[in-house]
């Protein structure tokens, strides 16, 4: 008989009791997560992580004394859990992802947003578990390069963009295409569209060049979303994306796109 896998252990860190209670109640609905500790300040969080070695931590950013970022700086690498930052301030999002946070939960949040964050966290924890098991099976603690370098094993990349006072965090693998609109760009992602005052060139520099390609001066596409490509009489190409969008590939960008598709 195969034993059921143990729940992933979580530490909740927030200096506000109502915020801890909300996270406790929501996580209590998830059968594969168990709360290892609740902490009201940063020093307590450091002690809980070192003592309990949790799989994940829901971590407030702004706390008196030791804040969330200081907590991470004081934790050794081998004790670092998967981090979900929870805060009412969206300005910390870029710094959070620089600290390799998996998710950024902006208060107040809906049940649907929390469920999406937990689903993402669950997927990342499964990847970590698989990698650890494979490394142990190999005996030398190292993954083969072919596995260690695959996108599924790397930190999931995020695009962080601002729309007025709001910060949007969009995983790269959810982006289908991006178009320029005058002085703005519109990001077409699965289930949402985001308009932001950025240049297409700025966003292109923040995207993975092995996955995203410019197809003409006003559009970037996720090459993994391309379903077909066909030539036009003008010398351009017509490109179809998996959500039904049809785009033109200019002759200027055609060769680079084809090279990327062939190498991918």
pLDDT single digits (tens) 83-136: 999 988 777 777 766 666 778 888 888 888 899 889 888 887 886 665 555 445
- What is the β-pairing status of strands 56-60 and 8-13? parallel
Q: What is the C-alpha to C-alpha distance for residues 260 and 237, in angstroms, rounded to an integer?
A: 15
| Cα 138 to Cα 162, 166, 243, distances in angstroms | 44, 45, 40
Q: What is the DSSP string of 7-33?
A: PEEEEEE-SSHHHHHHHHHHHHT-TTE
The mean predicted confidence, pLDDT, of the chain is 82
Give the tokens for residue 161: 């963009």
Across the beta sheet with 82-87, what order do the strands follow? 33-39, 8-13, 56-60, 82-87, 103-106
Q: Which of 250, 198, 201, 246 is nearest to 225 (CA)?
A: 246
Confidence band, pLDDT 50/70/90 cuts, at residue 140: very low
Contacts of 243 (CB under 8 A, 6+ apart): 176, 188, 190, 225
What does the alpha-carbon distance between residue 147 and residue 119 come to, in Å, rounded to a whole number? Answer: 23
Q: Which helix (H) or strand (E) holds 227?
A: strand 226-231
CA distance 207 to 79: 30
Output the pTM of the full model.
Answer: 0.55
Average pLDDT over residues 233-256: 86
Residue 162 has pLDDT above 80, yes or no: no
Which whole number is the average pLDDT over 157-174? 78
Q: Which two tokens stand for residue 20?
A: 């801890």
In this prediction, residue 255 has a pLDDT band, given cuts at 50, 70 and 90, of confident
Question: Is the distance from CB of 74 to CB of 101 less than 8 angstroms?
Answer: no
Return the ∠ at Cα 235 (arms to 230 and 238), rounded to 5°: 30
CA distance 141 to 34: 28
3-state secondary structure at position 149: coil
User: What is the mean predicted confidence (pLDDT) over 156-177?
Assistant: 79
Under 8 Å between Cβ of 255 and 263 = no
The span from the CA of 151 to the CA of 173, in Å, is 10
């Amino acid at each position: 008989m195969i034993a059921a896998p143990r729940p992933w252990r979580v530490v909740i860190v927030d200096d506000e009791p109502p915020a801890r209670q909300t996270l406790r109640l929501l996580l209590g609905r998830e059968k594969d997560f168990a709360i290892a500790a609740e902490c009201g300040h940063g020093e307590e969080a450091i002690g809980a992580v070192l003592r309990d070695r949790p799989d994940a931590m829901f971590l407030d950013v702004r706390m008196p004394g030791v804040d969330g970022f200081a907590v991470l700086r004081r934790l050794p690498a081998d004790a670092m859990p998967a981090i979900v930052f929870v805060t009412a301030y969206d300005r910390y999002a870029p710094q959070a992802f620089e600290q390799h946070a998996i998710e950024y939960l902006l208060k107040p949040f809906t049940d649907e947003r929390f469920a999406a964050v937990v689903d993402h966290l669950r997927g990342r924890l499964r990847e970590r578990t698989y990698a650890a098991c494979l490394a142990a099976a190999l005996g030398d603690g190292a993954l083969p390069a072919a596995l260690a370098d695959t996108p599924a094993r790397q930190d999931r990349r995020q695009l962080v963009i601002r729309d007025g006072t709001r910060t949007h965090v969009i995983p790269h693998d959810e982006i289908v295409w991006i178009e320029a609109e005058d002085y703005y760009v519109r990001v077409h992602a699965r289930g949402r569209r985001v308009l932001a005052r950025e240049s297409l060139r700025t966003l292109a520099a923040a995207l993975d060049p092995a996955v995203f390609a410019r197809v003409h001066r006003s559009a970037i596409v996720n090459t993994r979303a391309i379903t077909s490509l066909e030539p036009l009489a003008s010398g351009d190409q017509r490109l179809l994306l998996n959500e039904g969008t049809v785009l033109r590939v200019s002759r200027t960008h055609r060769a680079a796109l084809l090279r990327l598709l062939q190498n991918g």
